Homo-oligomer: A and B are copies of this chain.
Amino acid sequence: MSSKSSYLGLVNEVDGFPDAATHPEAFAERTSEYSRFMHLNYTVGYIIPIVLDALKDTELSGDWWDIQPGVVRLCGDTVEERTKNMDKTTRRWREAQRFEILSGWRDEIYTVYAPKGSPFFYMERSAHPLFGVLAYGSHMTVYVPATPTTPLRIWVPRRAAGKATYPGMLDNTVAGGMGNGAGPWECIIKEAGEEASLEESLVRAKAKPVGFVSYFYVRHKEAGGEAGLLQPEIEYCYDMAVEAPDSGGPTLKPCDGEVAVHILMDIDEVVANLKNGKFKPNCSAVLLDFFIRHGIITAENEPDYLEIYTRLHRRLEFPTR
């Protein structure tokens, strides 16, 4: 593993789960430690031992969960039944303070998908890493393009000091988890207003969908809650080029209290902060993708170019939306 101060080190931070194609033995060993969370013959997540133990509590298993060696299934013939069984499970654990991560309960709903993009069940956002199921978000990089006299600049928010996770750290310009119902485009428009006071009409005119990053995050202690929880993610990415404030462009400012301040940062300063670990870890995935698409990181200046870009577009083994 490279250190955090290299770009590949940053990728290792957010994509910590072995790859089945390139590291088949490590992948087999790792997955043998977990139970597969299955639907029909599809894997929708992985259950780590501390969660399996909790599921095995007699009160919970039986009616709510079908637990076999190496395979766990959520009971219920309909989306509604499965959602209810998942809800009873996570609320029971929350009341019993079984998992620290549930102290960050959000009352936001995430969707877990069955094959072909149909919902399999819905669940509380803060609980999804307990089941290793795929989560979705939207991230936008708002930037001022380079001119002959100034380098490219990026609008970088600093998270509020009071935030439960990663207080005071730097973040992507706009970023939000994708709850039940909203698609990635509607999600980014809503978050752009809430987090950066960006006018909806401006975002609709200027934001450009540019793909996504996907990775398999193994949570560190700093993420909040138990270490080792599994969080495979897909983050839809948007670029938005704006004028500098002194040329009539917008000045980004916080709106909902989650952000302390927005700073218009030169690209060199962004890179330095990234390599010094000042950014929230999954921000690096979005920024590195931006750097590669904008020709800032190239095959000529980055020895790990091929690994970085393929790792950030990992094909995950779960059914997707």
Question: What residues make up the interface of A, taking CB atoms closer than 8 Å to B?
Answer: 19-22, 24, 27, 117, 183-185, 208-212, 214, 234, 236, 292-295, 298-300, 303, 306-307, 309-317, 320-321
Q: Pick the contact of A20 from B20, B292, B298, B309 — CB < 8 Å?
A: B20
Q: Pick the contact of A298 from B209, B294, B299 — CB < 8 Å?
A: B209
A299 B184 Cβ-Cβ under 8 A: yes
B314 A310 Cβ-Cβ under 8 A: yes
Given A210-B292, A234-B306, A306-B212, are A299 and B183 neighbors across the interface (CB < 8 Å)?
yes
B22 A209 Cβ-Cβ under 8 A: no
A300 B212 Cβ-Cβ under 8 A: no
B314 A315 Cβ-Cβ under 8 A: yes
Q: Pick the contact of A212 from B208, B309, B312, B314 — CB < 8 Å?
A: B309
- In addition to A306-B320, A310-B313, 11 A-B residue pairs with Cβ atoms within 8 Å of each other are A19-B315, A21-B317, A208-B294, A209-B298, A209-B299, A210-B292, A212-B309, A214-B306, A236-B299, A306-B321, A314-B315
Q: Pick the contact of A303 from B20, B22, B117, B316 — CB < 8 Å?
A: B117
Chain B residues near A185 (CB-CB < 8 A): 298-300
A295 B208 Cβ-Cβ under 8 A: yes
Enumerate 11 A-B pairs (CB-CB under 8 Å) in ascending A order.
A20-B21, A20-B24, A21-B27, A21-B316, A22-B317, A210-B295, A212-B299, A214-B310, A236-B299, A293-B293, A306-B320
